[in-house]
Structure 1
Amino acid sequence: MLNEALAALAAAAGTGLVTAMTTDAWTEVKTRFGKLLGRGDAEREARQELRLERSRQELTSAAADQMEQAKAAQEAAWRTRFADLLEEEPEREAQFREVLDFLAEKVPVAASGAVQVNAQAFDHAQQAVQGQGVQTNTFGSPR
Protein backbone atom coordinates (compact mmCIF):
# COMPACT_ATOMS: atom_id res chain seq x y z
CA MET A 1 0.00 0.00 0.00
CA LEU A 2 1.32 3.40 -1.00
CA ASN A 3 1.73 5.93 1.78
CA GLU A 4 -0.10 9.25 1.58
CA ALA A 5 2.94 11.31 0.56
CA LEU A 6 3.83 8.99 -2.32
CA ALA A 7 0.19 8.80 -3.44
CA ALA A 8 0.11 12.60 -3.56
CA LEU A 9 3.36 12.58 -5.52
CA ALA A 10 1.90 10.13 -8.05
CA ALA A 11 -1.22 12.28 -8.39
CA ALA A 12 0.82 15.45 -8.90
CA ALA A 13 2.97 13.70 -11.50
CA GLY A 14 -0.10 12.46 -13.39
CA THR A 15 -1.73 15.87 -13.41
CA GLY A 16 1.50 17.64 -14.30
CA LEU A 17 2.27 15.25 -17.13
CA VAL A 18 -1.16 15.60 -18.71
CA THR A 19 -1.08 19.38 -18.32
CA ALA A 20 2.30 19.46 -20.06
CA MET A 21 0.99 17.47 -23.02
CA THR A 22 -0.45 20.63 -24.58
CA THR A 23 2.50 22.94 -23.94
CA ASP A 24 5.68 23.91 -25.75
CA ALA A 25 7.65 22.04 -23.10
CA TRP A 26 6.15 18.68 -24.15
CA THR A 27 9.24 17.27 -25.90
CA GLU A 28 11.47 17.80 -22.88
CA VAL A 29 8.75 16.65 -20.48
CA LYS A 30 8.25 13.46 -22.52
CA THR A 31 12.01 12.79 -22.43
CA ARG A 32 12.20 13.29 -18.66
CA PHE A 33 9.20 11.07 -17.94
CA GLY A 34 10.50 8.50 -20.43
CA LYS A 35 13.78 8.30 -18.50
CA LEU A 36 11.92 8.06 -15.20
CA LEU A 37 9.66 5.28 -16.47
CA GLY A 38 12.45 3.57 -18.40
CA ARG A 39 14.31 2.88 -15.17
CA GLY A 40 17.73 3.23 -16.79
CA ASP A 41 17.03 0.93 -19.74
CA ALA A 42 17.31 2.73 -23.12
CA GLU A 43 14.90 0.34 -24.87
CA ARG A 44 12.33 0.74 -22.12
CA GLU A 45 12.76 4.54 -22.24
CA ALA A 46 11.98 4.53 -25.96
CA ARG A 47 8.86 2.40 -25.41
CA GLN A 48 7.71 4.70 -22.62
CA GLU A 49 8.21 7.78 -24.78
CA LEU A 50 6.04 6.16 -27.47
CA ARG A 51 3.39 5.43 -24.84
CA LEU A 52 3.58 9.02 -23.63
CA GLU A 53 3.22 10.31 -27.19
CA ARG A 54 0.18 8.06 -27.80
CA SER A 55 -1.42 9.49 -24.66
CA ARG A 56 -0.75 13.01 -25.88
CA GLN A 57 -2.28 12.19 -29.27
CA GLU A 58 -5.39 10.77 -27.60
CA LEU A 59 -5.72 13.95 -25.57
CA THR A 60 -5.08 16.41 -28.38
CA SER A 61 -7.36 14.59 -30.81
CA ALA A 62 -10.34 14.64 -28.43
CA ALA A 63 -13.28 16.76 -29.50
CA ALA A 64 -13.62 20.05 -27.63
CA ASP A 65 -16.69 18.83 -25.74
CA GLN A 66 -14.80 15.68 -24.69
CA MET A 67 -11.55 17.38 -23.66
CA GLU A 68 -12.18 17.42 -19.90
CA GLN A 69 -13.21 13.76 -19.93
CA ALA A 70 -10.14 12.82 -22.00
CA LYS A 71 -7.89 14.80 -19.67
CA ALA A 72 -9.38 13.15 -16.58
CA ALA A 73 -8.95 9.69 -18.13
CA GLN A 74 -5.30 10.36 -18.99
CA GLU A 75 -4.60 11.79 -15.53
CA ALA A 76 -6.14 8.72 -13.87
CA ALA A 77 -4.17 6.33 -16.07
CA TRP A 78 -0.84 8.05 -15.46
CA ARG A 79 -1.53 8.53 -11.76
CA THR A 80 -2.07 4.78 -11.50
CA ARG A 81 1.12 4.00 -13.43
CA PHE A 82 3.12 6.37 -11.25
CA ALA A 83 1.58 4.99 -8.06
CA ASP A 84 2.47 1.45 -9.16
CA LEU A 85 6.05 2.49 -9.86
CA LEU A 86 6.39 4.28 -6.52
CA GLU A 87 4.89 1.30 -4.70
CA GLU A 88 7.41 -1.05 -6.34
CA GLU A 89 10.34 1.35 -6.03
CA PRO A 90 9.73 4.02 -3.36
CA GLU A 91 13.38 5.02 -3.64
CA ARG A 92 12.45 6.73 -6.94
CA GLU A 93 10.70 9.49 -4.99
CA ALA A 94 13.62 11.90 -5.53
CA GLN A 95 13.44 11.37 -9.31
CA PHE A 96 9.73 12.14 -9.28
CA ARG A 97 10.37 15.31 -7.30
CA GLU A 98 13.04 16.40 -9.79
CA VAL A 99 10.61 15.98 -12.68
CA LEU A 100 7.90 17.85 -10.78
CA ASP A 101 10.33 20.68 -10.05
CA PHE A 102 11.06 20.85 -13.76
CA LEU A 103 7.33 20.96 -14.53
CA ALA A 104 6.79 23.75 -12.02
CA GLU A 105 9.51 25.75 -13.75
CA LYS A 106 8.63 25.05 -17.40
CA VAL A 107 4.89 24.47 -17.58
CA PRO A 108 2.80 27.59 -17.13
CA VAL A 109 0.13 27.40 -14.46
CA ALA A 110 -2.40 28.77 -16.92
CA ALA A 111 -1.95 25.58 -18.94
CA SER A 112 -3.90 23.70 -16.29
CA GLY A 113 -7.15 25.06 -17.68
CA ALA A 114 -9.29 28.10 -17.95
CA VAL A 115 -11.27 29.24 -14.96
CA GLN A 116 -14.73 30.69 -15.21
CA VAL A 117 -16.36 31.78 -11.97
CA ASN A 118 -19.95 33.02 -11.73
CA ALA A 119 -20.70 34.19 -8.21
CA GLN A 120 -23.55 35.98 -6.50
CA ALA A 121 -23.34 37.08 -2.90
CA PHE A 122 -25.87 38.73 -0.67
CA ASP A 123 -25.71 40.44 2.70
CA HIS A 124 -22.44 39.30 4.29
CA ALA A 125 -20.68 38.51 1.02
CA GLN A 126 -18.50 35.44 0.75
CA GLN A 127 -15.86 34.43 -1.74
CA ALA A 128 -15.01 31.06 -3.30
CA VAL A 129 -12.18 30.27 -5.70
CA GLN A 130 -11.27 27.13 -7.61
CA GLY A 131 -8.30 26.13 -9.71
CA GLN A 132 -9.90 25.06 -12.99
CA GLY A 133 -13.17 24.46 -14.78
CA VAL A 134 -16.45 26.29 -14.40
CA GLN A 135 -17.83 27.20 -11.01
CA THR A 136 -21.13 28.83 -10.12
CA ASN A 137 -21.78 29.94 -6.53
CA THR A 138 -24.79 31.54 -4.93
CA PHE A 139 -24.62 32.53 -1.28
CA GLY A 140 -27.71 33.52 0.67
CA SER A 141 -30.93 34.21 -1.12
CA PRO A 142 -31.76 37.20 -3.30
CA ARG A 143 -34.30 39.62 -1.93
Structure 2
Amino acid sequence: MLNEALTALAGAAGTGLVTAMTTDAWTEVKTRFGKLLGRGDSEQEARQEIRLERSRQEVTSATADQVEQVRAAQEAAWRTRFADLLEEEPEREAQLRAALDFLGQKVPVAASGAVQVNAQAFGQAQQAVQGQGVQINTFGSPR
Protein backbone atom coordinates (compact mmCIF):
# COMPACT_ATOMS: atom_id res chain seq x y z
CA MET A 1 0.00 0.00 0.00
CA LEU A 2 1.35 3.40 -0.99
CA ASN A 3 1.73 6.27 1.42
CA GLU A 4 -0.28 9.47 0.84
CA ALA A 5 2.51 11.27 -1.00
CA LEU A 6 2.99 8.46 -3.52
CA THR A 7 -0.76 8.05 -3.95
CA ALA A 8 -1.02 11.77 -4.70
CA LEU A 9 1.91 11.50 -7.11
CA ALA A 10 0.18 8.65 -8.99
CA GLY A 11 -3.03 10.71 -9.11
CA ALA A 12 -1.27 13.79 -10.43
CA ALA A 13 0.48 11.70 -13.06
CA GLY A 14 -2.80 10.16 -14.22
CA THR A 15 -4.52 13.51 -14.47
CA GLY A 16 -1.55 15.20 -16.13
CA LEU A 17 -1.14 12.42 -18.65
CA VAL A 18 -4.79 12.53 -19.72
CA THR A 19 -4.65 16.32 -19.95
CA ALA A 20 -1.60 16.05 -22.21
CA MET A 21 -3.45 13.71 -24.58
CA THR A 22 -5.16 16.65 -26.25
CA THR A 23 -2.11 18.88 -26.61
CA ASP A 24 0.60 19.43 -29.21
CA ALA A 25 3.12 17.93 -26.77
CA TRP A 26 1.48 14.50 -26.93
CA THR A 27 4.17 12.75 -28.99
CA GLU A 28 6.92 13.77 -26.54
CA VAL A 29 4.74 12.93 -23.55
CA LYS A 30 3.82 9.51 -24.97
CA THR A 31 7.48 8.68 -25.56
CA ARG A 32 8.56 9.78 -22.08
CA PHE A 33 5.76 7.94 -20.28
CA GLY A 34 6.19 4.89 -22.51
CA LYS A 35 9.82 4.65 -21.40
CA LEU A 36 8.88 5.09 -17.77
CA LEU A 37 6.15 2.45 -17.90
CA GLY A 38 8.28 0.14 -20.05
CA ARG A 39 10.75 -0.10 -17.16
CA GLY A 40 13.80 -0.33 -19.40
CA ASP A 41 12.45 -3.04 -21.71
CA SER A 42 12.18 -1.76 -25.32
CA GLU A 43 9.39 -4.21 -26.23
CA GLN A 44 7.42 -3.20 -23.15
CA GLU A 45 8.01 0.49 -23.99
CA ALA A 46 6.47 -0.09 -27.43
CA ARG A 47 3.46 -1.85 -25.86
CA GLN A 48 3.01 0.99 -23.39
CA GLU A 49 3.10 3.57 -26.19
CA ILE A 50 0.39 1.63 -28.02
CA ARG A 51 -1.68 1.56 -24.81
CA LEU A 52 -1.13 5.28 -24.34
CA GLU A 53 -2.22 5.97 -27.92
CA ARG A 54 -5.37 3.86 -27.49
CA SER A 55 -6.23 5.90 -24.40
CA ARG A 56 -5.69 9.10 -26.33
CA GLN A 57 -8.00 7.86 -29.09
CA GLU A 58 -10.73 7.21 -26.52
CA VAL A 59 -10.35 10.70 -25.09
CA THR A 60 -10.19 12.51 -28.43
CA SER A 61 -13.03 10.56 -30.04
CA ALA A 62 -15.46 11.01 -27.14
CA THR A 63 -18.57 13.00 -27.92
CA ALA A 64 -19.20 16.23 -26.04
CA ASP A 65 -21.59 14.53 -23.63
CA GLN A 66 -19.15 11.64 -23.01
CA VAL A 67 -15.87 13.52 -22.69
CA GLU A 68 -15.91 14.09 -18.92
CA GLN A 69 -16.83 10.47 -18.20
CA VAL A 70 -14.17 9.16 -20.60
CA ARG A 71 -11.50 11.49 -19.17
CA ALA A 72 -12.38 10.44 -15.61
CA ALA A 73 -12.18 6.75 -16.54
CA GLN A 74 -8.82 7.24 -18.26
CA GLU A 75 -7.45 9.26 -15.34
CA ALA A 76 -8.48 6.50 -12.93
CA ALA A 77 -6.92 3.80 -15.12
CA TRP A 78 -3.60 5.64 -15.43
CA ARG A 79 -3.60 6.59 -11.76
CA THR A 80 -3.89 2.87 -10.97
CA ARG A 81 -1.08 1.99 -13.38
CA PHE A 82 1.21 4.60 -11.83
CA ALA A 83 0.29 3.43 -8.32
CA ASP A 84 1.13 -0.13 -9.35
CA LEU A 85 4.45 1.04 -10.77
CA LEU A 86 5.35 2.84 -7.54
CA GLU A 87 4.22 -0.05 -5.37
CA GLU A 88 6.27 -2.57 -7.36
CA GLU A 89 9.28 -0.32 -7.90
CA PRO A 90 9.33 2.57 -5.41
CA GLU A 91 12.71 3.65 -6.77
CA ARG A 92 10.86 4.93 -9.88
CA GLU A 93 9.41 7.80 -7.86
CA ALA A 94 12.13 10.20 -9.07
CA GLN A 95 11.45 9.25 -12.69
CA LEU A 96 7.72 9.82 -12.27
CA ARG A 97 8.36 13.18 -10.63
CA ALA A 98 10.66 14.11 -13.54
CA ALA A 99 7.92 13.12 -15.99
CA LEU A 100 5.47 15.36 -14.11
CA ASP A 101 7.95 18.24 -14.22
CA PHE A 102 8.21 17.65 -17.97
CA LEU A 103 4.42 17.84 -18.22
CA GLY A 104 4.47 21.10 -16.30
CA GLN A 105 6.86 22.57 -18.86
CA LYS A 106 5.13 21.19 -21.97
CA VAL A 107 1.42 21.25 -21.20
CA PRO A 108 -0.16 24.66 -20.72
CA VAL A 109 -2.22 25.10 -17.57
CA ALA A 110 -5.16 26.21 -19.70
CA ALA A 111 -5.21 22.76 -21.28
CA SER A 112 -6.68 21.39 -18.08
CA GLY A 113 -9.88 23.31 -18.77
CA ALA A 114 -11.50 26.48 -17.60
CA VAL A 115 -12.28 26.99 -13.96
CA GLN A 116 -15.35 28.94 -12.95
CA VAL A 117 -16.42 29.31 -9.33
CA ASN A 118 -19.64 30.96 -8.20
CA ALA A 119 -20.04 31.34 -4.44
CA GLN A 120 -22.64 33.07 -2.32
CA ALA A 121 -22.63 33.68 1.42
CA PHE A 122 -25.29 35.33 3.54
CA GLY A 123 -25.52 36.38 7.14
CA GLN A 124 -22.42 35.42 9.11
CA ALA A 125 -21.22 32.89 6.53
CA GLN A 126 -18.05 33.53 4.58
CA GLN A 127 -16.42 31.66 1.78
CA ALA A 128 -12.92 31.77 0.39
CA VAL A 129 -12.28 30.17 -2.97
CA GLN A 130 -8.90 29.85 -4.60
CA GLY A 131 -8.17 28.91 -8.15
CA GLN A 132 -7.81 30.46 -11.51
CA GLY A 133 -10.31 31.41 -14.14
CA VAL A 134 -13.55 33.20 -13.41
CA GLN A 135 -14.48 33.67 -9.78
CA ILE A 136 -17.65 35.39 -8.55
CA ASN A 137 -18.28 35.92 -4.85
CA THR A 138 -21.45 37.49 -3.49
CA PHE A 139 -21.72 38.65 0.11
CA GLY A 140 -24.85 40.16 1.54
CA SER A 141 -28.53 39.45 2.07
CA PRO A 142 -30.34 36.94 -0.09
CA ARG A 143 -32.72 38.54 -2.55
* Interval containing the TM-score (normalised by the shorter chain): 0.7 to 0.9
Paired amino acid for 1:20: A
CA–CA separation in structure 2 for the residues paired with 1:122 and 1:48: 52
Q: Is the 8 A contact 2:19 2:112 kept in 1?
A: yes
Other-structure match for 1:128: 129
Paired amino acid for 1:115: V
Deviates more, 1:2-11 or 1:30-39: 2-11
Show structure 1 runs of 5+ residues with no match.
Answer: none
Closer, same or farther in 2 for the Cα pair 1:131/1:72, shift >3 Å? farther
Other-structure match for 1:93: 93
Other-structure match for 1:105: 105
Other-structure match for 2:72: 72
Deviation by residue 1:69-95 (Cα, 9 ceiling, x = unmatched): 111110000000100110000000010
Instruction: Give the aligned length.
Output: 142
Deviation, structure 1 residue 116 = 2.6
Paired amino acid for 1:12: A
Q: Is the 8 A contact 2:119 2:127 kept in 1?
A: no
Other-structure match for 2:14: 14
Deviation, structure 1 residue 130 = 4.7
Deviation, structure 1 residue 122 = 5.0
Secondary structure of residue in 2 paired with 1:64: coil
CA–CA separation in structure 2 for the residues paired with 1:135 and 1:82: 33
Other-structure match for 2:116: 116
Show structure 2 runs of 5+ residues with no match.
Answer: none
Paired amino acid for 1:142: P
Secondary structure of residue in 1 paired with 2:23: coil
Deviation, structure 1 residue 128 = 2.2
Q: State the TM-score, normalizing by the size of structure 2.
A: 0.88
- CA-atom RMSD, angstroms? 2.5
Paired amino acid for 1:128: V
